[in-house]
Amino acid sequence: MGVLNVTPDSFSDGGHYFDPVAAIARAEAMAAEGADVIDIGGESTRPGAPPVSDDEQIDRVLPVIRGARSRGVSLPISIDTRSARVAAAALEAGADIVNDISGARADGDMPRLLAEWNVPFVIMHMQGTPETMQAAPRYEDVVADVGAFFDERAQALAAAGVKVGEKMIVDPGIGFGKTLEHNLSLLRAAATYGKKWPVIVGTSRKSFLGRLLNEPDPERRLIGTAATVAHSALTGVDMVRVHDVAEMRQVVEVCWRLSLQGAP
């Protein structure tokens, strides 16, 4: 899954693709580089980020979705939003997947939208909100607590008429209300959630890598990201969410060939 932030303030590439022309060109490039899904978002969710209105998100992402489709990008497009209204507008414009970092909790209309559209959706775990999540993350057992969260969301969404067994994808939310040790524990265990649902993991350029590597510049965390992508691929995670599509595609391809599934 290639990350396409149509924002001025995302933690790593904020502003790079804020212009729709640049964002559409990046979507084309990611398709050529081997992305399987393109995840487009119009709201930064970095630690401390303020919310962005529905109208502003729609104004940011719809020209990119429509432009990418008009340029022949046929890959599935995911809309990264907590808002049911933004998700609906994106789906109508040509998106295929909803990626909700709030786990379909921030907007009471999201479960209804997921039931009506019957599209694949990502339920991510986050403790708190982007504005508060890194203040003081605490868990009894982070791996078990995140797994219990997925169970609870599956039950609640199923009760709302969502086809959870067919459409739900889970994301443990690396960096979203977690300490360095929480993140490492979740990475070690992420594939175990795959016993119930497809699993996606997003580690790309994140601050926990900066702490591990003593590297303050997110764009200089490529090799650290590659290590986490390799670990995810080799342990059975279904998808990785990355900024550097071409490079991480190579990592995944080699890991696939090293695994028993990819043996000729």
Residues 6+ apart with CB under 8 A from 104: 110, 111, 114, 121, 123, 153, 157
Count of CA atoms in the C-beta half-sphere (13 A) of 52: 23
Helices vs strands, H then E, count in the chain: 10, 8
CA distance 107 to 105: 6
CA distance 52 to 246: 30
215: left (phi over 0), alpha (psi -120 to 50) or beta: beta
Residue linked to tokens 């398709």: 31
Q: Which two tokens stand for residue 126?
A: 């986050």
Q: Which two tokens stand for residue 137?
A: 């993350």
Where in the sequence numbering do the catalytic residues fall?
Answer: 206, 241
- Residues 130, 45 contacting (CB under 8 angstroms): yes
